[in-house]
Structure 1
Amino acid sequence: MTAVLTQKTSMGHKPIAYYSGLLDPVMKGHYPCEQVLATAAFAVQKSTTIVMGSPLTLYVEHAVFTILQKNKSTLTTQRVSGYEVILSIPSLQVVRYHTVKLVMFFAQPVSDDEQVYDCANYTLEEESKVGEDPIPGSMLLFVDGFSFIDQETGIMHSGAAIVRAEQQGPSDTLQIVSQIPLPSHFSAQAAKLLAIIEALQQAEGLEVTTYSDSAYFTTTVHSSIHRWERRRVLKSDGSPVMHKDLLVQLIKALTLPSKVAVIKCAAHTNQQDLVSRGNVLADWAAKEAAKTSPNFSEQDEHMLGMMTSRQQNATELPPPYTERAQLHLRELQEQALPHERELWEQRGCIQSPTDFIYRQESTGRPVMPKPCYIQP
């Protein structure tokens, strides 16, 4: 950050003080427009000891107030409030210039009819790299990650899964293309990151639309990942962020497909549309992968790139009931309270990815909520 305080005289602008400093590690990861905003606030704050409330004109190349009012700003509320206080003092006048040089009389102010850099859309170029809407005719993938702690051994088991949808006219099919058992140190967030990395690698050179019900995952891809990339995946104190290795792989993987869209979908909707069924199947496949996760040694845990995906076809639990009976079973199971469904899962029941009916894994029999067992 550099700035110069000048006083206008008959001979032009006379320099009074020079200011320079380094952007803090957090601001180094922000967009150039936001860095200019921080520099402007720095210059005004530094000059207060000399200006002492006298009229001050700030010449800056960017529309700082437009940046402050931007809805998609990546700045925190605390930073925005601080900059607003500094730049809103009554004695300050902000003037936007094309190029602010140390010799101020060489600068030319921006006129209304000139084409200049649009500070209101400074993030659009990077945001457009990953779309938020489905790409027509693209590969359609559903990703998920899961982890749980074995109550008997205390060991965490994790897994990730990728499901591909094939649309052929009015019909569509779902297929589990990857189930990945993961080391015990993988959290659910890390498992989800690995799932999308694997999916993007499979879609290299293609157009792909990916769905996930994870808010953490979609937020990371659409906003956080660009900031971490500019900050070299480091926190404000210089230490690496959580899941640094996976984020580095994700940054590279996002460049592999020719076009990428990452979309958040609703979880556990019990609907029969393609997105809902694909998400449920990905969730089920990730849980199944976690159940088979081996105990990796310390030397093997970091060898993420050496892991191979287990290719499987989509498995369907054959329902021995008519369509009408399946509908009735679903309606009964929907009456179960959330804690009762959790109890089903703890006791080894799974929800079928095809008909959404909870069944005992060992026998395949459906389970019923407590009201069904109350005798008149």
Structure 2
Amino acid sequence: MSPFNTPILPIKKADGSYQLVHDLREINKRTVAHFPVVANPYTLLSRLGPKKQYYSVIDLKDAFWACPLDEKSKDYFAFEWEDPVTHRRQQLRWTVLPQGFTESPNLFGQALEQILQEYQTGEGVTLIQYVDDLLIAGETEDKVRAESIRLLNFLSAKELKVSKAKLQFIEEEVKYLGHYLRKGEKKIDPERVKGILSIPPPKSKKQIRQLLSLMGYCRQWIKNYSTKVKFLYEKLSQGGLVKWDEKDDKHLKALQHDLVNAPVLSLPDLKRPFYLFVNTDSGTVYRVLTQEWAGKKKPVGYLSKLLDPVSRGWPTCLQALVACALLVEEANKITFNGELRVLSPHNIRGILQQKAEKWITDARLLKYEGILLDSPKLTLEVRALQNPAQFLYGKPSEDGLAHECLSTIEEQTKIRPDLDEEELEEGDKLFVDGSSRVINEKRVSGYAIVAGERLAVIESGPLSGFWSAQACELYAVLRALQLLKDKSGTIYTDSKYAYEIIHTFGKIWEERELINSQGKNLIHQDLIRKLLKALRGPKKMAVVHLKGHQKGLDFKSRGNNAADQEARRAALQTSQSTPRKIRRLKEKSVRLAEGICKRYIALLCKKKRK
């Protein structure tokens, strides 16, 4: 007898009959699953090619039962059985891999793969395995017939059974892994589409995830899929219960319409070059992968992705760079790193080599360069195409569509066109710095502005003890800009944060009303707003970044160190400059806390006396 026992449940089948199913959910919960070494159906069919015209599909019968269970594991799969005639109850155990066990497909798939390593396919024929489903494809009927018979005999010799009811033997159109294959093309199984259409609007997050899982299997056929399911992902990120309205119904119906009218896709030919059109729209990456046949571009697959929150905050041309890298990675799963020509309205190579370092971290930059520049079979081309339809069905009028990415990035990121990153020959030279540190368990903050060859202190003072170092540095730059109003001059700062706001992120943040890419308010929002406004005050100006704490006697090092020392000195006055309102609030809080403690102690004493 086994100490374990799980129930047998009757499950109604489509034909009205019942099937007994062993409920192994509790066993599955306690099973540490192995990594699933199973072929990816998304890329599996890329091995076929469009020249294969005949197919055979072989489905193994009771496949899992061909794998014996280890003696130590048999007790886990025990169940109670009542004889329908004698009504005698007894406990039985599985001696082979049971259906319903979470590891059964993975374990059997690996076992069958090892068996098939002994089998050698004939010339001009391809054999594909996905768990217990086998597909044979060939260019001629005779070759597929001979290979199918040979494979069936091989499986029989290995004591594996084949389901005669599910056998598709030498046909021009077959159903395999939820696809219909015919003459080198694939389309979605209408039964799968019908099943998805029958699902009612989701009322919970679990149902939304189930819908996304089903729709995701069909994403290759849906143009700009990520944009169209974005509303579902937004509902998953919202707190509380799911609220479904008429607008959501409209989005869902549009998605279902695209699914019903899904195009037929060509199976890829790995010996021919691929063409990948890439563009972005509203933070979504979309593309169409094609190959040329008889002078026409035939779609191999559509793919789209949502950019990450950081990338969505970048200029459009930089978003296109990320889009290109993401989609080339996805395309390589289908092309198997074959020859690929990427077409985009953006100068991807120029952006990557000249403008990317301002926005992209070294780790990301290295990754993108490896994908886009170091691939010998990858070609980047600039085309004035704006959407996949123009790419597939002919060239549009290119008047006014072309743009210069490098200058566009400059226009999108500069607060004013004459804002310089190099020092001006004329005008004032101002060194600024801010300081915020903890002394005797108390934070002190301050700022300073130093000017001229003599490095005279123009302005300095304490700031609120609640301010961070970044806030102090921003305030120092703000005051310098206000001093340069209607004048010309150069501001030197060692704050990378302030420098990047002025030269890189400021204009985009301003256009988004100081909301970040995740829809939240920026830190130091008020200071940034004043800073961006003050940038338009000077007649002519430059903001230059310096490395902090440099040892040297040159003008820039001395100026930066002088501003740093003065800011530290000014910060020591913080304790004396705490606003009166804040001091009163602190004193009131202390008195309130003392009163609560006294009342609590008095209450405890009263209870003890009782």
Which AA in structure 2 matches 1:68? L
Alignment correspondent of 1:75: 360
Which residue does the alignment assign to 2:488?
207
Select the structure that is richer in helix.
2
Q: 1:197: how far off?
A: 0.8
- Match of 1:94? 380
Residue 17 of structure 1 corresponds to 301
Tell whether the 8 Å contact from 1:162 to 1:179 is kept in structure 2 after alignment. yes
- The AA in structure 1 aligned to 2:571 is A
Equivalent-residue separation in structure 2 for 1:65 and 1:189 (angstroms): 34
Q: Distance in 1 between matches of 2:330 and 2:287?
A: 9
Cα distance in 1 between the residues matched to 2:543 and 2:537: 14
Q: Report the CA distance between 1:103 and its aligned residue.
A: 3.1
- Taking a change above 3 Å as real, the CA distance of residues 286 and 94 of structure 1, as seen in their structure-2 partners, is closer
320, 325, 329: which one aligns with 1:41: 325
State the alpha-carbon separation in 2 of the partners of residues 142 and 90 from structure 1.
Answer: 48
Consecutive unaligned residues in structure 2, runs of 5 or more: 1-284, 584-610
CA pair 100-211 structure 1, distance change in 2 beyond 3 A: closer
Q: Is the 8 A contact 1:143 1:210 kept in 2?
A: yes
Question: Matched residues in 2 for 1:278 and 1:103: separation?
Answer: 57
Structure 2 residue corresponding to 1:103, chosen from 390, 400, 409: 390
Change (3 A) 1:277 1:89: closer
Equivalent residues of 1:212, 1:218 under 8 A apart: yes
Shift of 1:27: 1.0
Pick the structure with greater CA Rg: 2
Match of 1:4 among 288, 297, 301: 288
Q: Give the corresponding residue for 1:130.
A: 419
Query: What's 1:57 paired with?
Result: 341
The answer (yes or no) to whether the contact 2:317–2:409 under 8 Å persists in 1 is: no
Deviation, structure 1 residue 200: 1.0
Residue pair 1:142, 1:212 contacting (<8 A) in 2 also: yes
User: SS of 1:137's equivalent?
Assistant: coil
- 2:443 equivalent in structure 1: 156
Residues 242 and 34 of structure 1: CA distance in aligned 2, closer, same or farther (over 3 Å) = same
Give the superposition deviation at 1:194: 0.5
> For 1:218-257, what aligned pairs fall within 5 Å after superposition?
218=499, 221-223=502-504, 225=506, 242-257=523-538
Query: Alpha-carbon deviation of 1:202?
Result: 2.7
Distance change in 2, residues 1:279/1:184 (3 Å): same
What are structure 1's unaligned runs of at least 5 residues? 166-171, 301-376
Say if 2:328 and 2:371, in contact at 8 Å, map to a contact too.
Answer: yes
Per the alignment, residue 142 of structure 1 pairs with 431
Q: Work out the percentage of aligned pairs sharing the same amino acid.
A: 32
Superposed CA offset, 1:69-94 (max 9, x none): 33752222332333344445555443
For residues 327-357 of structure 1, give each alpha carbon's deviation from its aligned partner in whole angstroms, at most 9, with x where no partner exists. xxxxxxxxxxxxxxxxxxxxxxxxxxxxxxx
Contact 1:66 1:120 in 2 (8 A): yes
Within-5 A mapping of 1:201-350: 201-214=482-495, 217-218=498-499, 221-223=502-504, 225=506, 242-264=523-545, 267=549, 271=553, 279=560, 282-293=563-574, 294-296=577-579
Secondary structure of 1:132's match?
coil
Q: CA deviation at 1:207?
A: 2.0
Instruction: State the one-letter code of the partner of 1:44.
Output: V
- Distance change (3 Å), C-alpha of 1:144 and 1:26: same
1:145, distance to aligned residue in structure 2 (A): 1.6
Relative distance call for 1:229 and 1:27 in structure 2 (3 A) is farther
Q: Distance in 1 between matches of 2:527 and 2:331?
A: 44
Distance 1:11 1:281 in 2: 70
Map 1:357-368 → 2, pairs under 5 A: none
Mapped contact 2:462–2:570 kept (Cα < 8 A): yes
User: What secondary structure is seen at the aligned counterpart in 1 of 2:354?
Assistant: coil
Contact 1:28–1:230 (8 Å) recurs in 2? no
Q: 1:50 to 1:147 in 2, by over 3 A?
A: closer
Letter in 2 for 1:135: L
Q: State the alpha-carbon separation in 1 of the partners of residues 519 and 490 from structure 2.
A: 34
Are the structure 2 counterparts of residues 207 and 50 from structure 1 closer, same or farther at C-alpha, using a change threshold of 3 Å? same
Q: 2:542 is aligned with what amino acid?
A: A
CA contact (8 A) 1:197 1:249 kept: yes
- 1:208 and 1:29 mapped to 2: Cα distance? 31
Q: Deviations over 1:148-205 (max 9, x none)?
A: 4331xx221211122444xxxxxx7665443332111113332111111122123223
* Structure 1 position 55, deviation (Å): 4.2
1:160 counterpart letter in structure 2: Y
Distance of 1:263 and 1:54 partners within structure 2: 46
Alignment size in residue pairs: 287
- Give per-residue Cα distances to partners, 1:14-71, cap 9 Å, x unaligned: 4453333332211122232221122223333344555455544322122323333337
2:419 maps to amino acid: V
The 8 Å contact of residues 210 and 262 in structure 1, kept in 2 or not, is answered as yes
Contact persistence 1:29–1:231 (CA under 8 A): no
2:314 alignment partner AA: H
Tell me, in whole angstroms, the C-alpha distance in 2 between the residues paired with 1:201 and 1:9. Answer: 64
Q: Distance in 2 between matches of 1:274 and 1:60?
A: 47
Give TM-score scaled by structure 1 length: 0.61
Q: CA deviation at 1:267?
A: 4.9
Q: Tell me the distance in 1 between the aligned counterparts of 2:422 and 2:338.
A: 51
Per the alignment, residue 335 of structure 1 pairs with: none
TM-score (norm 2): 0.40
**Aligned equivalents of 1:78, 1:263: Cα separation in 2:** 25
Report deviation, 1:121: 5.9
User: What letter is aligned with 1:188?
Assistant: A
Deviation readout 1:240-282 (Å, 9 max, x if unpaired): 55544433433333233232212345757674x8766655654
What is the SS of the residue equivalent to 1:131? coil
| Aligned equivalents of 2:333, 2:552: Cα separation in 1 | 64
Note the aligned Cα RMSD (angstroms). 4.0
SS class of match (1:103): helix
Q: Which has the higher contact order (CA 8 A, sep 6+)?
A: 1
8 Å CA contact 2:345, 2:402 repeated in 1: no
> For residues 179-236 of structure 1, what are the alpha-carbon distances to aligned partners after superposition, in whole Å with 9 as ceiling and x for unaligned?
3321111133321111111221232233221123555544554445467657766667
My pick for the range that moved more, 59-68 or 222-231, is: 222-231
